[in-house]
């Protein structure tokens, strides 16, 4: 497992997904093959124990997928369901105990992000108040489908944050744990947020599901058509989602060296982040 040089950040894939649609979904060759998407989570070695950013799919999702994830997700997104990919298994492989994970910072509570919560029942779970309200009180069919109450039936130790914070590079930031901040990015869900992690002289920014493909934060923006349609379908506020993608494009253009931007489901951003950490350890602290 690789990590950054200064602040130790491990880039984990906590759930491979193989939806149909080939290049319409992931931009690589072929229409008839399955696409490949990941659940990119961060494991940060902080001064306050381990901090996990998103949890992907957990051990109970792998063991009881129908109950935990529901049939429509299994049929449409086709997760691989490999216990070795859970955050719990990867934390152990890195030589830590599950109890070392003191905090979990959630971009949002969709089922492909919250599945591992029950593997870390003692951790504080940081989330925006609007997002927790949406998950506990779903108001539409989409919200009923995307949030899965069995994933928090164990009673997580929620640490709920308001969406108002201090200015940060054109956004708001809300302190979650030390130098790790929630950055409200409403649109994909009611209380969706990115997560900004300070690395001393730079930032790692996890955009969650605010965008799905690296081309969306580049200029001119580009994205496989199937992924565009999927994002529209899942958005609770499409105008806000698109506006926030524009803001992220501006962030990327204004601070290409200071801020490294990743998202939850793009496998190439995951491998770039891992490669940057491993191949250029001295640059990693800056990028």
The binding site for Zn ion (CB under 5 A) comprises 110, 112, 209, 264
Q: How far is the CB of 208 from Zn ion (least distance, A)?
A: 7
Residue with tokens 């029942």: 121
Cβ closest to Zn ion, residue 7 vs residue 53: 53
State the Cα angle at 183 between 100 and 41, rounded to 5°: 40
Q: How far is the CB of 37 from Zn ion (least distance, A)?
A: 9
Cβ closest to Zn ion, residue 26 vs residue 110: 110
The Cα–Cα gap between 265 and 11 comes to 12
Retrieve residue 8's tokens.
Answer: 């130790």
Question: Is the CB of residue 151 less than 8 Å from the CB of residue 117?
Answer: yes
Cβ closest to Zn ion, residue 199 vs residue 241: 241
The Cα–Cα gap between 132 and 65 comes to 23
| H-state helical runs in 64-123 | 65-69, 71-77, 87-93, 111-114
Q: How far is the CB of 276 from Zn ion (least distance, A)?
A: 23
Cβ closest to Zn ion, residue 85 vs residue 112: 112
Q: How far is the CB of 28 from Zn ion (least distance, A)?
A: 19
Cβ closest to Zn ion, residue 60 vs residue 209: 209
Measured CA to CA in angstroms, residue 255 lies from 44, 272, 287 at distances of: 22, 18, 10
Retrieve residue 231's tokens.
Answer: 């994002």
Beta strands in 47-179 (DSSP E): 49-53, 101-105, 124-128, 157-161, 166-168, 171-177
Cβ closest to Zn ion, residue 192 vs residue 274: 192
Retrieve residue 54's tokens.
Answer: 């998103």
Q: How far is the CB of 5 from Zn ion (least distance, A)?
A: 29
Q: How far is the CB of 49 from Zn ion (least distance, A)?
A: 25
Bridge partners, residue 10, by sequence: 3, 43
């Amino acid at each position: 497992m690789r990590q950054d040089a200064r602040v130790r950040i491990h880039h984990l894939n906590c759930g491979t997904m193989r939806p149909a649609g080939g290049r319409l979904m992931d931009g690589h060759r072929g229409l008839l093959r399955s696409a490949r998407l990941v659940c990119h989570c961060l494991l940060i070695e902080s001064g306050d124990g381990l901090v996990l950013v998103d949890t992907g799919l957990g051990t109970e999702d792998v063991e009881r997928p129908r109950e935990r994830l529901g049939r429509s997700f299994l049929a449409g997104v086709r997760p691989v369901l490999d216990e070795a990919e859970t955050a719990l298994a990867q934390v152990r492989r890195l030589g830590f105990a599950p109890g070392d994970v003191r905090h979990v910072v959630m971009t949002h509570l969709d089922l492909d992000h919250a599945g591992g919560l029950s593997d870390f029942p003692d951790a504080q779970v940081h989330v925006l108040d609007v997002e927790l309200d949406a998950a506990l009180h779903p108001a539409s069919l989409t919200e009923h489908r995307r949030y899965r109450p069995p994933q928090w039936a164990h009673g997580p130790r929620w640490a709920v944050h308001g969406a108002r914070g201090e200015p940060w590079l054109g956004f708001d930031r809300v302190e979650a744990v030390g130098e790790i901040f929630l950055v409200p990015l409403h649109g994909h869900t009611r209380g969706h947020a990115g997560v900004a992690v300070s690395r001393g002289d730079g930032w790692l920014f996890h955009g969650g599901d605010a965008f799905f493909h690296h081309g969306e934060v580049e200029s001119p923006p580009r994205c496989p058509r199937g992924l565009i349609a999927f994002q529209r379908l899942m958005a609770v506020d499409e105008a806000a989602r698109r506006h926030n993608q524009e803001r992220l494009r501006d962030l990327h253009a204004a601070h290409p060296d200071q801020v490294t931007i990743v998202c939850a489901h793009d496998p190439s951003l995951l491998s770039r982040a891992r490669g940057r950490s491993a191949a250029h350890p001295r640059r990693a602290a800056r990028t």
